[in-house]
Amino acid sequence: MSSLAVILAVGAPPLVEELAITVVATAVAGYVAQRVGLVSIVGYLLAGVLIGPHALGLIDDLELVEQMGEIGVIFLMFFIGLELSEDLLKKMGSLMFGGGAIQVAGTVGLVTVIAIVFDVDAKTAIYTGCLVALSSTAVVLKLLASRGETNTPTGSVAIAFLIFQDIAVVILVLLIPMLGESGGGLGDILWATFRAGIVIGLVILVTKWVIPVILNTVAEHTDDEEFLLVTLALAAGVAYAVTLFGLTASLGAFVAGLVVAAGPHREKATKTILPFQALFAAIFFASIGMLLDPSTLVDLWEVVLLFCVLVVAVKVVTTGVAAAVLKTPLPAVAASAFVLAQIGEFSFILEKIGRENGLTPMDRGDDGSQVFIAVTVVLIALTPGLFALGGRAHRRLKMPQKLAE
């Protein structure tokens, strides 16, 4: 712990100290980011880099940082599920399972080929492809909502692909250990996937019966504060329950959000919980920033730049092809391709699982992990710019249609 951190929080319990430093830093950085025309998320990331163990060292407990980040992503996924209506999900079924599958499989395949060209063995190449295949649900949905584009064709493609990616995480979590030192076979993957599907189905059935009853009772007999507490408790409870069956807590929280969204209390739950969304987003993105060693950007900037370009190119191609196959209008194809051209938060979970099983991105050890973190942080920070680039492509492709009319 640095002397500055000790001065800032003498005698404070570790969690209180870390949380206080993180919230203060993200609040200031978010304000500065907005004043200079950037989105708050960029400020949160930079705040994490600044206070993390590789810079000022105000926070140097990486295990606690990871735990804070996991809590943040659990509740972020609950908020995301809460924002998605059942009708919206029904409309995008083919986009989700058709286009989403093409996009994920295409990204994994294309990255695998590129990695093999760089003399990476096949298993590690596939693992690297799995990391790149995911986009940031939290960032993209936040941007779509802030710009009022959730229900546009571009928003529909982006949301459908993101939901499929979040579901695919279940399979990828099972696949990666089998690519590493723990081994395994196709039969194990199929059985684990079948079991995961059964568990998710049971969770949806049970929560659809239990959650509305609980919320009806609470809304009828208590005030808004208790309603807020019970709603968050349901999110945390379902998240924990699914981990007992080997699934990710964030997926459980997402399911809980979907169930609440399908009931009569969606609007109240959204209004009550909304103020907390910024807090959990700040904690999560700051925790990502803390993982980055700024010296990587200095020492390996050419490598980071190269892989940023490659990732954007791969994801624009695979997302564009997947959307086009589903006969999405060309302007929306172009826009959604750029919107999803970053690496997502769940990739950090997969990277950690890979490390535990002897895998590192591009088989480059600690340098590979740091380059992966750097590329992810840079692309998340650049997502608003990519979003704007996609919007420009959307408008240009739409102009000929307007002129024809």
Residue 404: pLDDT over 50: no
Q: How far apart are CA 61 and CA 64, in angstroms?
A: 5
Q: How far apart are CA 61 and CA 52, in angstroms?
A: 9
Q: Which domain holds residue 158?
A: 64-275+301-404
Most confident of 77-81, 177-181, 335-339: 335-339
Q: How far apart are CA 286 and CA 239, in angstroms?
A: 22
Residue 309: pLDDT over 90: yes
Q: How far apart are CA 350 and CA 355, in angstroms?
A: 9
- Give the gyration radius of the chain's Cα atoms: 21
Residue 109 included in any domain = yes
Residue 33 included in any domain = no
* pLDDT at site 244: 81
Residue 39 included in any domain = no
Residue 79 included in any domain = yes
Residue 397: phi and psi, rounded to 5, are -70, -20
* pLDDT at site 1: 52
Hey, what are 299's tokens?
A: 């020492």
Assign residue 102 the CATH number of its domain. 1.20.1530.20
Confidence label for 363 from pLDDT (cuts 50, 70 and 90): confident
Tell me, rounded to whole angstroms, the distance of Cα 79 from its chain centroid.
12
Query: Percent of the chain beyond pLDDT 70?
Result: 89
Residue 327 gets the label, from left (phi > 0), alpha (psi -120 to 50) or beta, of left
- The answer to whether 372 and 323 are in contact (CB under 8 A) is no
Residue 5 included in any domain = no
Residue with tokens 């959604």: 336
- What pLDDT digit, counting tens, does each position of 134-157 carry? 998 878 887 887 777 777 888 888
- The answer to whether 384 and 39 are in contact (CB under 8 A) is yes
Stretch 23-39: mean pLDDT, rounded? 87
Residue 4 included in any domain = no
Q: Which of 190-199, 264-273, 376-385 comes out lowest in average pLDDT?
A: 190-199
Q: How far apart are CA 20 and CA 12, in angstroms?
A: 10
Identity of residue 226: E
Number of domains comprising the chain = 1
Residue 10: pLDDT over 60: no
Sign of CA dihedral 329, 330, 331, 334: positive
Among 8, 93, 104, 113, which Cα is nearest to 56's?
8
Cβ burial, residue 270 (10 Å; 0-12/13-18/19+): middle
Stretch 314-323: mean pLDDT, rounded? 93
Residue 86 included in any domain = yes
Q: What is the pTM of this model?
A: 0.79
Residue 146 included in any domain = yes
